[in-house]
């Protein structure tokens, strides 16, 4: 049983201000009817005992655990910077605010 017909597609196209030819209207009526039937079939199968999922395959995190390792001494890091002051990188003022 068809739930979407060409008249309904033409009405929806007019509401959306889409200009369709009669051939496009007929084709879209068939396409939309197939989509509506597929959604109805899924709705019949998916009952209350079927949990909702966001992905059909279970996903797992493949990242490694964070491990604290040896870091560089602060003096070595600041030696690489163009300018440093009080143990921090010194950068030019950009917002015109008083420091």
Please report, in tens digits, the pLDDT of each residue of the chain (99 residues total): 568 899 999 999 999 999 999 999 999 999 999 999 998 888 887 777 777 777 878 888 888 888 999 999 999 999 999 999 999 999 988 887 665
What burial letters (b/e) apply to 47-70, b meaning 16+ CB within 10 Å? eeeeeeeeeeeeeeeeeeeeeeee
**pTM, full prediction:** 0.45
> What's the pLDDT score for residue 2?
66
Distance CA 9, CA 29 (A): 6
> What's the pLDDT score for residue 98?
66
CB 29 within 8 A of CB 11: no
CATH class of 6-45: mainly alpha
- Angle between helices 22-45 and 6-15 in degrees, nearest 10: 100
- Which of these, 43, 23, 31, 25, lies nearest to 3 by C-alpha position? 31
């Amino acid at each position: 049983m068809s739930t979407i017909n060409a008249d309904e597609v033409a009405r929806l196209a007019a509401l959306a201000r889409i200009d369709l030819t009669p051939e496009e209207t007929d084709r879209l009526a068939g396409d939309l009817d197939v989509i509506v039937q597929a959604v109805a079939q899924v709705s019949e199968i998916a009952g209350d005992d079927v949990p909702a999922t966001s992905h059909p395959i279970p996903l797992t995190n493949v990242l490694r655990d964070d491990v604290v390792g040896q870091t560089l001494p602060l003096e070595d890091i600041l030696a690489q910077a163009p300018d440093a002051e009080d143990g921090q990188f010194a950068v030019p003022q950009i917002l015109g605010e008083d420091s």
